[in-house]
Amino acid sequence: MTIKPLMVLLSTVALLPAQPNLMPWPAKIALMPGRLPIDQSFRVGFSGYQDQRLRAAEYRFIAHLSMQTGIPIPHSSTGDSAQATLEIQCEHAGEPVQKLGEDESYRLDVSEKHARLSAPGPLGILRGLETFLQLVEPGAQNFAALAVSIEDKPRFPWRGLHLDVSRHWMPVAVVKRNIAGMAAVKLNVFHWHLSDDQGFRVESKRYPKLQQMGSDGQYYTQEEVRDVVAFARERGIRVVPEFDIPGHSSSWIVAYPELASAAGDYEIERKWGVFDPTMDPTREYTYEFLDNFIGEMAELFPDRFFHIGGDEVNGKQWKSERHILDFMREHKLKDNQELHAYFNKRIQAIVTKHGKRMEGWDEILNPDLPKDIVIQSWRGQKSLAEAARLGYSGLLSSGYYLDHIEPAAVLYMVDPLEKESASLTAEEKARVLGGEVCMWAEYVTAENVDSRIWPRTAAIAERLWSPSEVRDIASMYRRLEVVSQNLDYLGLTHHSSYRTMLERFSAGEPVEPLKVLADVLYPGNLGQRTRTHKYTQQTPLNRLVDAVRPESRTAREFAALVDRMDKPQIRAWLTLWRDNDAKLKPIFGKSFLLTEDVQVSKDLSQVATIGLEALDYIDHGKRPPAAWLAQQKVFLENARKIRQELFIAIVPSIQKLVAGL
Ligand code: ACM
């Protein structure tokens, strides 16, 4: 008997009885009847090419499966793949250094008896193993993987996460757990932002003062860098280092003031923003230094690409230094932009000499540069399209800035080939390599960074991997929650740190009422926070705004209740919020950290009270007095605004209730 696959049409995804919680959604998937039970007899067998990386992947896979199910599955792979529960068939070895565009495709067939994962290269096997883990769910009788037939490959070859480790230091453990998370959602480039005004984070043996004077002792040794690179390679992830020059370079200049455009007493920058210290593009010393430095780093980081930053050069020092103005006149460079382009051309030659392709933020775009550079677009999609038209490869990061605190639904809809890129020719579109999620570290520490990255990054990972037609937001959110839970098994702390940060405030009192409040708050974004407080690198990030999550799931679900006017549930939530303020009194009395939030809690209570009154009017079919209505509208408009750098996420839903009266 042949089994007729149930083809999954994207438009009907939401209607399927057993939709697998896959993220990113595969290029092609057919759901089959039945499930493959997962128990202690589970065995993996290899047929075809094998190497250390594949065996390590299998080992991690079994360990993860054991954690996910709680079943201790012994690790004893079978040489006889016919006996295996999951047969892995890889055709050939991968590249010695993972290449951009290296084949990541795979095929996964799961039936009630057996699963088979096949791929041309090891990367496809790595991706397919992650898919398999996502197929495993508890059922009525056992854990099982849904039966499917999947043929999968990425839409874009460059799918990255950028992490700033300069403004706030991120220890190796943070980096590793996030790389593990990247692998789970099939991202393949870790962009390591290693230097900025606020810190220089890698050991240089050639120029040791960089880490000695530029890092407060917080830097990665070369041994640690090699370890992280190996960790990423095991997971099919390239590591692209960024050393941001010629601006954003205070921390270098502290150590080697000879690099600066102007004489001065330099210090590691402690504040956020764009600063004056800039490397001197007119002196040969600068290029000799960078030649030696880039040569050293080119050996340490095996990836073919090398990011030189190039963003936000404010040019003040260039405009005010006599010798620089003279140099510009002699070299017929009419403005700072041309001087910056001159610098980039010199650096590009150095990067190329050391065997690398240069990458930079979109400010480096200049038609005089060779076409093999890569432009990372952050100021808008326009520069990505412009780069592609000029013959340059590019990546989209504009729209993927996690510190802008957009909900997953917004991030999810940002597409590298839309807006200005939509009108590109097919040839130009092929130059759009993909995108990178950006995690800048002004307002994150090792404690809360995971909660800013996850789970939202998984939604962007889907945008970059899956066919462009995959864009059902409800389906995305449903799957995102499950994926988010699974990330816990990798040691990510986006759930656990929320709890521990709230417990820090509660000082032994029950944390639940604080959680009720925090669950409906979200933080202001980078700009809003910078405008509100004078932050420095030493400002503790231990306030409620640092604990709350970038997107309120509770508020999102409440909005859905309001949309379908589920009155009993709406009333239950509103009652909880109204009464929560009283329950918070003991905690408020105990923790100085929460003093500023007393009013936020009162406001939530008042917002909920208004919602309940609105419900009463609706229930009684009465119109409220005009004065009441006007007063509540004013209150809600105010409640919608930022306070203590926080937003109350349910206010728009209450406004909707009131507007309907
Ligand atoms: C950037 O956000 N300055 C690249």
Give the model's pLDDT for residue 1.
37
For residue 86, report the distance from its CA to the centre of ligand 1, in Å.
44
| Host H or E run for residue 129 | helix 122-135
b/e map 403-427, b = 16+ CB within 10 Å: bbbbbbbebbebbbbebbbeebeee
629 found inside a domain: yes
Q: Characterise 324 by phi-psi region: left (phi > 0), alpha (psi -120 to 50), beta (else).
A: alpha
For residue 89, report the distance from its CA to the centre of ligand 1, in Å.
42
pTM, whole model, 2 decimals?
Answer: 0.96
> Are 535 and 271 a contacting pair, CB within 8 Å?
yes
* Band of pLDDT at residue 77, cut at 50, 70 and 90: low
For residue 262, report the distance from its CA to the centre of ligand 1, in Å.
24
Q: Atom of ligand 1 at shortest distance to CA of 440? A: 2
> Are 413 and 400 a contacting pair, CB within 8 Å?
no
- More confident position, 100 or 532: 100
For residue 270, report the distance from its CA to the centre of ligand 1, in Å.
17
The DSSP bridge partners found for residue 522 are 647
What's the mean pLDDT in 560-574?
A: 98
* Band of pLDDT at residue 83, cut at 50, 70 and 90: confident
Q: Based on the domain organization, do 419 and 539 belong to the same domain?
A: no
Final residue in a domain of this structure, among 106, 126, 152: 152
What's the mean pLDDT in 200-205?
A: 98
Q: Based on the domain organization, do 454 and 512 belong to the same domain?
A: no
Mean pLDDT of the chain: 95
Q: Characterise 229 by phi-psi region: left (phi > 0), alpha (psi -120 to 50), beta (else).
A: alpha
Residue 311 CB less than 6 A away from ligand 1: yes
Q: Is the pLDDT of residue 513 over 90?
A: yes
Our mutation pick for probing the ligand 1 site, out of 378, 402, 525, counting the most ligand atoms within 8 A of Cβ, is: 378
Residue 361 CB less than 6 A away from ligand 1: yes
Residue 312 CB less than 6 A away from ligand 1: yes
Q: Based on the domain organization, do 169 and 208 belong to the same domain?
A: yes
Separate counts of helices (H) and strands (E) for the chain:
25, 19
Within 164-267, where are the H helices?
A: 172-184, 209-214, 222-234, 250-255
Give the model's pLDDT for residue 11.
40
19 found inside a domain: no
Q: Based on the domain organization, do 128 and 193 belong to the same domain?
A: no
Q: Based on the domain organization, do 466 and 529 belong to the same domain?
A: no
pLDDT in tens, 30-51: 999 999 999 999 999 999 999 9
Q: Based on the domain organization, do 648 and 565 belong to the same domain?
A: yes
* Band of pLDDT at residue 18, cut at 50, 70 and 90: low
pLDDT in tens, 418-469: 999 999 999 999 999 999 999 999 999 999 999 999 999 999 999 999 999 9
Our measurement of the distance from residue 96's CA atom to the centroid of its chain's CA atoms, rounded to an integer in Å, reads: 27
Distance CA 646, CA 119 (A): 47
Q: Is the pLDDT of residue 7 over 60?
A: no
DSSP state of 402: G
Give a three-class secondary structure readout of 240-297.
Answer: EEEEEECCCCHHHHHHCHHHECCCCCCCCCCCCCCCCCCECCCCHHHHHHHHHHHHHH
565 is in which domain, residue-wise?
Answer: 498-659
342 found inside a domain: no
Give the model's pLDDT for residue 78.
64
617 found inside a domain: yes
Q: Based on the domain organization, do 119 and 178 belong to the same domain?
A: no
Q: Based on the domain organization, do 212 and 143 belong to the same domain?
A: no
Give the model's pLDDT for residue 79.
66
Any residues with CB less than 8 A from the CB of 251 and at least 6 apart, and which?
166, 195, 196, 197, 198, 199, 200, 210, 214, 215, 268, 269
416 found inside a domain: yes
Give the model's pLDDT for residue 354.
98
- Structurally, the chain folds into a number of domains equal to 3
Final residue in a domain of this structure, among 490, 512, 536: 490
Q: Is the pLDDT of residue 353 over 90?
A: yes
572 found inside a domain: yes
Q: Atom of ligand 1 at shortest distance to CA of 376? A: 4
Q: Is the pLDDT of residue 3 over 50?
A: no
Which residue matches tokens 């055709």? Answer: 91
pLDDT in tens, 250-289: 999 999 999 999 999 999 999 999 999 999 999 999 999 9
Final residue in a domain of this structure, among 429, 455, 490: 490
346 found inside a domain: no
312 counts as catalytic: yes
Q: Based on the domain organization, do 233 and 269 belong to the same domain?
A: yes
What's the mean pLDDT in 114-136?
A: 98
Give the model's pLDDT for residue 249.
98
| Host H or E run for residue 544 | helix 544-547
Give the model's pLDDT for residue 507.
84
613 found inside a domain: yes
Q: Based on the domain organization, do 558 and 582 belong to the same domain?
A: yes
For residue 245, report the distance from its CA to the centre of ligand 1, in Å.
12
Q: Based on the domain organization, do 619 and 640 belong to the same domain?
A: yes
Residue 378 CB less than 6 A away from ligand 1: yes
Give the model's pLDDT for residue 16.
46
> Are 381 and 398 a contacting pair, CB within 8 Å?
yes
Taking CA atoms only, the protein residue closest to ligand 1 atom 2 is 378
Active-site option among 151, 312, 338, 596: 312
Distance CA 570, CA 561 (A): 6
CATH number at residue 409: 3.20.20.80
Q: Based on the domain organization, do 421 and 555 belong to the same domain?
A: no
